[in-house]
Structures are given as C-alpha cells and as structure tokens.
Chains A and B, each alone.
Chain A
C-alpha cells in the first residue's frame, strides 16, 4: 500500500511538471494550428541551460528558470512569425509544410545539440538535489516536490494571464475562431509570434525542472515530444483544460508501469495507450479536440 501511494504521488508530481509545457503546447496549437514537433527540443534546451548555469557559473539550478524563459522565449518569438507565415502561405499545402517545418526544426535542434554536446547525459544540480521528503510512510525526492510547486506556479500564472487579462482574452478568442478574432481587431500575426514565444519560454522552463528531476541529453527530446503528443491526443488537440488532466494521467501511468512492470516498458505502455485512444476515441477522451 505504501508503495502504491508513493508511486501515485511520484506520478502526480511528474505529471504536474509535464502539464506546464503540454498546456503551452496546446495553446500554441490552438493559435497557430501547427503541431510542433520541436517541443522536445525546447525542453532539452532548457535542461542544458540549467546544466551550464550550475556547471559553469556554479549557481543553483533554479536560477536558470527565469533565464530559460527570457532566452528561449525570445528565440521562440523570432521563430514564431516564420512558422506563422508558412502555415498561412499560399503554397499548395500550408498545413503539411508547417508540419514539415516544425519537424525540420526539431531535427535541426536534435542534430545541433548532438553535434555540440554529444550523447553524454548531464544533470542540473540544485541545493535540493539528493534530499528527500518523508510524509508518514512515503518518501519522495524533495526536488520533485519543489519542481511540482514551480510547475504549478508557472501553470497558475499562465491560466491567470489567459483568463484575467485582455491579452489572454485575445489569445483565447483567436484559438476559438481566428477569423472573428481578426475582425475584432486582434493582430493575428503578431499574437501568434507572441504565443509561440510564450510557449517556447514555458517549455524551456519545464525543461530546467525536468533536467533537475531526471537528467538531460539531446536524445530525450523525442520522449518529451511524445509526452506532448500523448497529452494532446488524450485531451483533444488544442484543449488547454484537458491537457492538465491528461498530463497528470500520463505521469501516473508512467510511474505505475515503471514501478510495477519495469522502466523499459513505460514508453511501450504510453505509446500503446496513445495509440488505442487514437483508434477508439480520436478526438480525445474528453472529445474536445479540433
């Protein structure tokens, strides 16, 4: 029973961190209508920033969180318009071309990081690394708890921004109906660039947390892209609220399969679930997808 509770808690904590970037991913899809393969690349970039902050500057890994947001948010802000232009270009198949572009971006990031940093695995160290927290019979690594708190703060901030500000209203309106939003005076092109920047920044912040909990190397980007897709399919593409539930579910599934079946089966279980959902209920378990 203790193992069960501990696994559940671990899964929920990891799921919380996954939720931050999958929510942003859904938001970017809702506005740009591109499923961004590069999502895993942004996570890994954030993780590496965290690593270099601790390894070179000797600072605590958590300092990297705001830096990741600024740095990769800016980078995303610069890339966003390119993606937007391709998606809305007059070429024969804009949806396909935009998908190919994000795929190319992901491949470029992965190849560039492998060339620059090799296949070695790096850790983001913080003052909390190695500490653990005991709640009754259950022990969880303290870093996971703190990371989940950070993740909750980031997600909470994002929801406040989306639901309590005029700009957030514009973003939601665009995601709901781009044409009508444009008629109401929203500059869709600029808003898309901003949303992509916001998404890249949040994803990189989650990457720092992921690097602190696990470790980071260029090949794990694929895994996080898979997580984002899994959540997107379970929640229905573009559904921001569903992403939170689906991400927690993903964390729990992964934790239980790792604990009770074996870590090498966790990806197989996730893929199979994703696949079955696509076959049985393609618009997501909540049937909210676009």
Chain B
C-alpha cells in the first residue's frame, strides 16, 4: 500500500500540498529568528524564480536583475517617506509601473541583439543606478533611506510567501502550460526557426523581461519595508544578482522548481557561513566556485538530477521512504 500516489502528477500535487501546509503553519511553530530566515529563503526562492523567467526560459542572461529589485525597494521607500506618506500597499503598483517602464527602455533595443549586449546593458544599468542613488539627494545618497518600521514578522513572512507562490504559479501557468511558454522556449532553442514560424520574438522576449523585472520589484518593495532601511549597495548591489544567478544555475536553468531548490539551498548555506564565520568575502569566493563547478559538472542543475525519467532519483528516494505502489515486494 503506497502512502503517495504512483502517478507522477498526483505525486507532485501531494508534495506541493504538503509544502504549502508546512509553510502555512511555520509562523506559529518557530521563533522570530528562524521566521526571519524562512522569510529570507522565500524571498530568494522568489527572486531566483523571477530571474529564471528570462534566463532559464528565454535564454537571455540578465546581470542586472538587482536594478529592478532596488527600483521596487526605492520607490516604496521614497513614496512612504516624508512628502508623500503613502500606505505600503499603494506603493507596490507604482514600483511595478516604474520597473516595467525601465525594463522596456533597456530591453527594447538590446534584446534584439546577441545575448552578450543584453548582459552588458543590464549589468551597466544596475551599476548606473548604484552610482545615481549614491550621488542624488532625494535617494538619500550613500546613506540611504529609512522606512516607517512595521514590526510584524508574520506579515512579512506571508507577503514573501504569497508573492513567491504567485511567481511560481505564473511561471507554471505562463511558461509550462500555455502557448506563450511554447513561443518563449522556441525562440530560446532556435531563434531564426521561431521567427520563421511567425513568432514575434522581439515582443515575446520583451514581455518575458518585463514580467521578470516586475516580479523582482515586488520583492524589493517588501524587502525595503521589512528591513526598514535601504542604501544603494544593499538593494542594487551586484551581489544580489550574483546570488540569483548562482541559485538558478545550481537549481536548474529553465525548470519550474530548480530556482526554489537552489534558492533555499544557497540561502541556508549563506546563513550558516554568516553565523559561523561572519565573513562576506569568503562567501563571494564560494559563490564563484559554485558557479564554475555547476557550469562544468552539473549544467542542468540539481533539478536535472530529478528529471522526469522512468525511475528518477527523487522517485527512488520517495519509494524507499514511503513504499512503492508498484509490485515486486510481497
């Protein structure tokens, strides 16, 4: 008698339900310290998902995703601040619109070219924003801006959880289960062929890029409100993009669950290193080593290990744990 259904789709649904229940009751079972770590893990899983939309499904590497995360954070911090004093929920749509606007400005000309130009353009954009935010007065310069504190860890946990869940649902619905996803994958695998099939590749790429950027901006907004203080390095910094790239590569490019696996795994490693060494330089070296090793030895990421084969590793582990419905053992 099997505890889990043998049909892979039902099995996946049951696993998903278990994960949602566990995440749903978590805020009432752990203390605030671990709740903050869980909130961070959800944020990074969601950010990795946002990067994966363009990087994984469309095959364009964005080295400036932190720009959009930071735009969301700065718009929220700015609008909640003194002259405006808007409520938090009202700032998010503004951040999304601003982000989408910038994404179109950067994406429209550069997404038509080779991926290298797009990589440079996005990277340069993130660096421009660091320099700009450090130089200007209305962004608070290098010192940054503070936000009105709101001390409710559960609110932020569920905000991150909800946004991340929405990001994964959108990824699933748009990239795995729709014509749009087929178009995106087609242009990734062979752009001229996709164009020959009548796909407006420039438009599809731009739509994907805007979706990815806007998702990151929502996380940035929640992050700013959560940590109550932001400065140019903390929200635009290249390290934020580095982490997203590593998480997606580690988990598996262009897979639905890869970014979640890589995001949570790397974030836990990050916290452990921080707890035991407190040394950020060492962590950068580990990130670099992780990228190199994954590219060389695990190009399909962790999710690639569990690819849908007849008897994949994940299924074997599950079978061992809960027993298989398929015969053999009397």
Q: How far is the CB of B30 from chain A (nearest CB, A)?
A: 31
Interface residues of B in 290-304 (CB under 8 A from A): 290-292, 294-296, 299-300
B155: A residues at CB distance < 8 A: none
CA distance A119 to B131 in the complex (A): 20
CA distance A255 to B169 in the complex (A): 50
Interface string of A191-235 (1 = CB under 8 A from B): 000000000000000000000000000000010001001001100
B245: A residues at CB distance < 8 A: 100, 103
**Does B87 interact with chain A (Cβ within 8 Å)?**
no
A96→B59 contact, CB < 8 A: yes
Interface string of B225-261 (1 = CB under 8 A from A): 0000000000000100010011001000110000000
A271: B residues at CB distance < 8 A: 124-125, 127-128, 131
Interface string of A257-282 (1 = CB under 8 A from B): 00000001101100110110011001
**Does A120 interact with chain B (Cβ within 8 Å)?**
no
Q: How far is the CB of A29 from chain B (nearest CB, A)?
A: 8
CA distance A100 to B246 in the complex (A): 9
Interface string of B33-77 (1 = CB under 8 A from A): 000000000000000000000010001110100000000000000
* Known contacts A93-B188, A107-B291, A237-B117; is-contact A275 B128 (Cβ 8 Å): yes
**Does A106 interact with chain B (Cβ within 8 Å)?**
yes
Set B55, B114, B124: member contacting A275, Cβ < 8 A? B124
A115→B116 contact, CB < 8 A: no
**Does A70 interact with chain B (Cβ within 8 Å)?**
no
CA distance A126 to B245 in the complex (A): 41
A274: B residues at CB distance < 8 A: 120, 124
CA distance A275 to B132 in the complex (A): 13
A268: B residues at CB distance < 8 A: 128, 131-132, 135
A275: B residues at CB distance < 8 A: 121, 124-125, 128
* Nearest B residue (CB) for A106: B288
**Does A35 interact with chain B (Cβ within 8 Å)?**
yes
B287→A107 contact, CB < 8 A: yes
**Does B113 interact with chain A (Cβ within 8 Å)?**
yes
A100: B residues at CB distance < 8 A: 61, 245, 249, 291, 295
B128: A residues at CB distance < 8 A: 268, 271-272, 275
* Nearest A residue (CB) for B287: A107
Stretch at the interface among B91-99, B146-154, B159-167, B276-284: B276-284
> For chain A, which range describes its interface: under 10, 10 to 19, 20 to 34, or 35 or more residues?
35 or more
Interface string of B94-136 (1 = CB under 8 A from A): 0000000000010001101111110111011101100110110
Interface residues of A in 222-252 (CB under 8 A from B): 222, 226, 229, 232-233, 237
Q: How far is the CB of A131 from chain B (nearest CB, A)?
A: 33
**Does A104 interact with chain B (Cβ within 8 Å)?**
yes
CA distance A282 to B111 in the complex (A): 10
* Known contacts A96-B55, A101-B296, A268-B132; is-contact A108 B127 (Cβ 8 Å): no
Question: Which of A92, A222, A232 has the most C-beta atoms of chain B within 10 angstroms of its own C-beta?
Answer: A92
Q: How far is the CB of B123 from chain A (nearest CB, A)?
A: 7
* Known contacts A96-B61, A103-B245, A104-B290; is-contact A278 B121 (Cβ 8 Å): yes
CA distance A222 to B239 in the complex (A): 12
Q: How far is the CB of B64 from chain A (nearest CB, A)?
A: 11
Q: Is the interface of A mostly helix, strand, loop or mixed?
A: helix
**Does B285 interact with chain A (Cβ within 8 Å)?**
yes
B285→A108 contact, CB < 8 A: yes
Set B117, B132, B288: member contacting A112, Cβ < 8 A? B288
* Nearest A residue (CB) for B127: A271
Q: How far is the CB of A109 from chain B (nearest CB, A)?
A: 7
B281: A residues at CB distance < 8 A: 111, 114-115, 118-119
* Known contacts A103-B291, A107-B288, A111-B284; is-contact A278 B61 (Cβ 8 Å): no
**Does A3 interact with chain B (Cβ within 8 Å)?**
no
B114: A residues at CB distance < 8 A: 95, 237, 290
A264: B residues at CB distance < 8 A: 134-135
**Does A99 interact with chain B (Cβ within 8 Å)?**
yes
B292: A residues at CB distance < 8 A: 101, 104-105, 108
**Does B32 interact with chain A (Cβ within 8 Å)?**
no
Ranked nearest first, the 8 interchain pairs of A and B with the lowest CB-CB distance are A104-B291, A108-B288, A111-B285, A111-B284, A107-B288, A114-B281, A268-B131, A271-B128
- What residues of chain B have their CB less than 8 Å away from a CB belonging to chain A? 55, 59-61, 63, 105, 109-110, 112-117, 119-121, 123-125, 127-128, 131-132, 134-135, 188-189, 238, 242, 245-246, 249, 253-254, 279, 281-292, 294-296, 299-300
A92-B254, A96-B55, A105-B288 known; 18 new pairs, CB 8 Å cut-off, are A86-B296, A101-B295, A103-B242, A103-B291, A104-B294, A106-B288, A107-B287, A108-B292, A115-B281, A222-B127, A237-B117, A274-B124, A278-B110, A278-B121, A279-B110, A282-B112, A289-B117, A290-B114
19 contacts between A and B (CB under 8 A): A86-B295, A91-B299, A93-B59, A103-B63, A106-B288, A107-B291, A108-B285, A111-B282, A111-B284, A114-B281, A222-B127, A222-B238, A229-B123, A271-B125, A271-B127, A272-B128, A278-B110, A278-B124, A282-B112
